[in-house]
Amino acid sequence: SSLIESAEVPLELTGGSRFLRACLRKPVDRPPVWFLRQAGRYMAEYREVRKHHSLVEICKRPEIAAEVTITAAEKLDVDAAIIFADLLLPLEPMGLDFEFQAGEGPVVHAPLRSPESIDRLRTDRASELEYVAKAIEKVTGHFGDSKGMIGFCGAPYTLASYMIEGGSSRNYIFTKQMMYGETTAWQRLLDKLVTVLTAYCRQQVDAGADVIQIFDSWVGSLGVEDYRDYVLPVTKRLVRAVQEMGVPVIYFGVETASLLPAMHETGADVIGLDWRTPLDAGWRSMGYGCAVQGNLDPITLFAPLPVLETRVRQVLEQAGGRAGHIFNLGHGIVPGTSVEHVQAVVKMVRELASRFVGS
Ligand code: CP3
């Protein structure tokens, strides 16, 4: 049936319409392409901006955040731009201070370790996050329909884990202790996060985001039973709330092979696959009932170009030309990656992909 559908592809697709059509599993001329962490330290232009501004400062100054977003999307010639921001920003208006320490990742100063600390969290100050929406307005003003505009937020589980652990974690002991031992407080925390994140996403959609990506980066630390019992219902509520704003949702996590069918039950339009899951097996495990995004191993960008091309081809072959594939990495670009290799992947997707459409 994809052959029949492909006859309906409009001849002129902008990057924005190609990206949005793929999110909705409508046929396209070729898969749209963009990259997780496409603006970041691997890019000289970003490092130059970082010499003068901290990460949080870039996020909070719409003209700088927009510039960083636009520069990366233009330099790579991708179909979509993702607003430059960070997962942790909503913690501040909720009453948790954090900082980014060089080489350490985020550090939350007073992590949540008791039900009382959860009760103290505020949900009425999401308007303080408007700087992200202002940056989105600037980016959409620049690109119009030529590129898709992706807004994003962290998922309730991943943000809760940062709030409770105080930073990155290996075993998520404090998080799971709260989840198992203080289940009522845990639910209250996730409810509060959904309240703030819904308001935050609404600001982004009102400002012109075409799609919202929900990052559940650390959900792979959960077994599927715990995911279903403690995380799925509240995540589903957030996904629905965003969809009711009229935009599709991309839901992404890492090390999710065994979680994919349950993640699909959130009703997200697109599931982001990490690089460890073969794309075809992952998609099949969800009954092809959604679009998928992914999932080239970001470290293959360090391989010689012919090897890289083999791997790009494998991802496209596994997608099999089905409607609803967005080409991306299976996790973010890391510092030290060659910009030329990222650009080469965009060209490869363009050149190879037309052969798979409708096949
Ligand atoms: O181009 C883009 O992708 C948009 C920018 C973006 C950032 N963070 C900027 C950033 C996005 C989408 C994020 C999301 C984010 N933040 C995630 C989810 C994506 C994922 O990787 O799973 C997570 C887990 C975070 C939290 C976070 N922020 C960590 C763990 C770190 C440190 C890790 C590191 O690479 O050093 C950050 C810092 C951060 N956020 C950087 C960037 C470009 C790098 C640090 C810097 O510029 O100083």
Q: What is the pTM of this model?
A: 0.96
41 in ligand 1 pocket by Cβ < 6 Å?
yes
Cis bond before residue 171 (omega within 30° of 0): no
What confidence tens digit (pLDDT) does each residue in 123-176 have?
Answer: 999 999 999 999 999 999 999 999 999 999 999 999 999 999 999 999 999 999
**214 within domain boundaries:** yes
Confidence of residue 178 (pLDDT cuts 50, 70, 90): very high
**321 within domain boundaries:** yes
Question: Domain span at residue 211?
Answer: 2-353
Ligand 1: residue whose CA is nearest its atom 40: 86
Confidence of residue 4 (pLDDT cuts 50, 70, 90): very low
Helices (H), 39-144: 44-52, 55-60, 62-76, 91-94, 115-119, 130-143
d(Cα 219, Cα 222) in Å, to the nearest integer? 6
**201 within domain boundaries:** yes
**76 within domain boundaries:** yes
What confidence tens digit (pLDDT) does each residue in 291-344 have?
Answer: 999 999 999 999 999 999 999 999 999 999 999 999 999 999 999 999 999 999
Q: What is the CATH number of the domain that holds 202?
A: 3.20.20.210
220 in ligand 1 pocket by Cβ < 6 Å?
no
**358 within domain boundaries:** no
The answer to whether 50 is a known catalytic residue is: yes
On whether the CB atoms of residues 46 and 39 are closer than 8 A, the answer is: yes
Q: Which residues fall within 8 angstroms of residue 159, CB to CB, at 6 or more apart?
A: 87, 88, 90, 91, 193, 197
Give 236: exposed, middle or buried? Use CB within 10 Å, 0-12, 13-18, 19+: middle
On whether the CB atoms of residues 165 and 174 are closer than 8 A, the answer is: yes
Ligand 1: residue whose CA is nearest its atom 37: 105
Number of domains in the chain: 1
The answer to whether 41 is a known catalytic residue is: yes
d(Cα 238, Cα 229) in Å, to the nearest integer? 16
**271 within domain boundaries:** yes
91 in ligand 1 pocket by Cβ < 6 Å?
no
Residue 357 confidence (pLDDT): 63
State yes or no: 293 annotated in a binding site: no
**359 within domain boundaries:** no
Residue 11 confidence (pLDDT): 65
Specify the residue for token string 């899951």: 277
Q: What percent of the chain has pLDDT over 90?
A: 93
